[in-house]
Amino acid sequence: MTLNELKIGQSCKITKVNGEGALRKRLLDMGLTPKTKVTLHKTAPMGDPIELLLRGYNLTIRKEEAARIEAEVIE
């Protein structure tokens, strides 16, 4: 699955970050690296972007970008 498919409150472990160039590098730099645990905290009132919890801080990205990040749900 990809990050945009997470349900609110659900956690996952990143397996792969797709995409290229500046955007991908930005996602990696902000700590969205493979093996990282990420929780979907909420979605914006208009349904997009989303707010993630990772590495002890809150990060917001658009669903379009979240769709490039592959992950496994942690039960």
67 near another protein (CB under 8 A): no
Instruction: Determine, following the binding rule CB under 8 A, whether residue 15 of this chain makes contact with another protein.
Output: no
Does 57 engage in binding with another protein (CB under 8 A)?
yes
DSSP assignment of the chain, as one string? -BGGGPPTT-EEEEEEE---HHHHHHHHHTT--TT-EEEEEEE-TTS-SEEEEETTEEEEE-HHHHTTEEEEEE-
Q: Does 31 bind another protein (CB under 8 A)?
A: yes
Q: Which residues bind another protein (CB under 8 A)?
A: 17, 21-31, 33-34, 36, 41-42, 44-49, 51, 55-62, 65
